[in-house]
């Protein structure tokens, strides 16, 4: 009888030990869960900006602060821009935003091509858009960017400069007399050998409508002006998305080059813009 009682006590001790161990594991798991959730929340506090971006301008209006970042000052051509959107207390916001780039001239106003690469919803204060400014600020007019953030407007005056070598060319089509704009995106840092080339093409339908053109075929010829020769191993840019065309351009040496482009639709030619490069 005593032996059975002793076995019973030992069984109870084992059960209690297991029960206590389960409680300890539950506490540890709860602590790890809280720590993980805290880490996730901390990761979401600050927006992620590329380290090579510079602050261009910051404006506070209607209890909103919008700060714009880019790799360089805004220029005539294709600009990739990141906006940080905060409330009056400096809290990073999430929501929906639209952007209206407008050139205000003495007798008229006009817009320019605009892209939302990740859509118009933004989170953690970070929003990206691309604007193709078609002329510089100056005597002819001035640019503003108007942001609408969930019904609240922020109007931002900006300066657009003309780069040393043009990154945007326009021409009137030989086919339909419409105005086309070709933005040079890559190579941004050309080097000897084969380089990725990227162009974006838009059509001016009205002062406020500048849609991307997706049905074109392109031919390219790099030409070294001072030496009067071209280079082999080029790949004609083809359409990939939203009016962007990518291919390969080959440079056989450093110096002054032109990238000569033939813009076609079917078998008919729209125009022949070109871009100068020196490296």
CATH number of the domain enclosing 131: 2.60.40.1940
Q: What is the pLDDT of residue 276?
A: 98
By mean pLDDT, which of 40-54, 129-143, 214-228 is the weakest?
40-54
Q: Rounded distance, CA 154 to CA 147, Å?
A: 5
**Is residue 16 a part of any domain in this protein?**
yes
Question: For 81-85, what is the mean pLDDT?
Answer: 98
Instruction: List, in order, residues 6 or more apart from 181 with CB less than 8 Å away.
Output: 113, 132, 134, 168, 169, 170, 201, 202, 203, 204, 210
Closest CA to 142 of 158, 130, 154, 155: 158
- 9-to-5, 6, 21, 49, 68 alpha-carbon distances in Å: 6, 5, 18, 64, 73
Question: For 78-94, what is the mean pLDDT?
Answer: 97
Last residue within a domain, chosen from 137, 158, 179: 158
Q: Are residues 115 and 151 in the same domain?
A: yes
Number of domains in the chain: 3
Q: Given pLDDT bands bounded at 50, 70 and 90, which one contains residue 33?
A: very low
Q: What is the pLDDT of residue 52?
A: 84
More confident residue, 52 or 226: 226
**Is residue 26 a part of any domain in this protein?**
yes
Q: What is the pLDDT of residue 35?
A: 42
Rounded to two decimals, the pTM is 0.83
Q: What is the pLDDT of residue 132?
A: 98
pLDDT digits (tens, 9 = 90+) for 233-246: 999 999 999 999 99
Q: Rounded distance, CA 144 to CA 157, Å?
A: 4
Domain containing 98 equals 54-158
Q: Are residues 187 and 243 in the same domain?
A: yes
Q: Are residues 153 and 183 in the same domain?
A: no
Q: Rounded distance, CA 53 to CA 81, Å?
A: 9
Average pLDDT, the chain: 89
More confident residue, 37 or 208: 208
DSSP string, 184-231: EEE-SS--SEEEEEEEEEEEE-BTTB--B--S-EEEEEEEETTTTB--
Strand, coil or helix: 34: helix
Q: Are residues 173 and 261 in the same domain?
A: yes
The answer to whether 199 and 242 are in contact (CB under 8 A) is no
The residue written with tokens 């007798």 in the block is 107
CATH of the domain at 212: 2.60.40.10
CB atoms within 10 A of CB 270: 22
* Statement: residue 98 has pLDDT above 90: yes
Tell me how far apart the 2 most distant CA atoms of the chain are, in Å.
Answer: 112
**Is residue 82 a part of any domain in this protein?**
yes
Q: Are residues 267 and 180 in the same domain?
A: yes
């Amino acid at each position: 009888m005593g032996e059975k009682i002793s076995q019973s006590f030992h069984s109870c001790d084992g059960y209690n030990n297991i029960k206590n161990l389960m409680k300890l594991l539950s506490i540890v798991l709860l602590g790890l869960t809280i720590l993980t959730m805290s880490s996730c929340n901390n990761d979401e506090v600050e927006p992620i900006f590329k380290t090579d971006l510079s602050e261009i301008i910051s404006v506070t209006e209607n209890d909103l602060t919008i700060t714009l970042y880019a790799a360089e000052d805004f220029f005539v051509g294709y600009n990739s821009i990141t906006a940080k959107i905060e409330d009056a207390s400096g809290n990073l916001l999430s929501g929906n935003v639209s952007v209206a780039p407008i050139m205000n001239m003495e007798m008229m106003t006009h817009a320019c091509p605009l892209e939302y690469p990740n859509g118009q919803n933004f989170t953690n204060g970070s929003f990206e858009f691309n604007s193709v400014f078609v002329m510089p600020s100056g005597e002819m007019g001035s640019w503003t960017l108007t942001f609408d953030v969930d019904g609240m407007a922020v109007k931002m005056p900006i300066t657009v400069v003309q780069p040393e070598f043009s990154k945007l060319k326009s021409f009137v089509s030989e086919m339909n007399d419409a105005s086309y704009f070709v933005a040079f995106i890559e190579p941004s840092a050309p080097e000897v050998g084969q380089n990725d080339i990227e162009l974006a093409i838009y059509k001016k339908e009205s002062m406020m409508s500048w849609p991307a053109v997706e049905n074109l075929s392109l031919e390219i010829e790099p030409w070294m002006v001072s030496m009067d020769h071209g280079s082999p191993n080029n790949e004609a840019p083809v359409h990939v998305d939203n009016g962007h065309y990518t291919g390969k351009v080959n440079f056989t040496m450093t110096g002054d080059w032109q990238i000569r482009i033939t813009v076609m639709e079917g078998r008919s030619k729209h125009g022949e813009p070109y871009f100068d490069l020196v490296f």
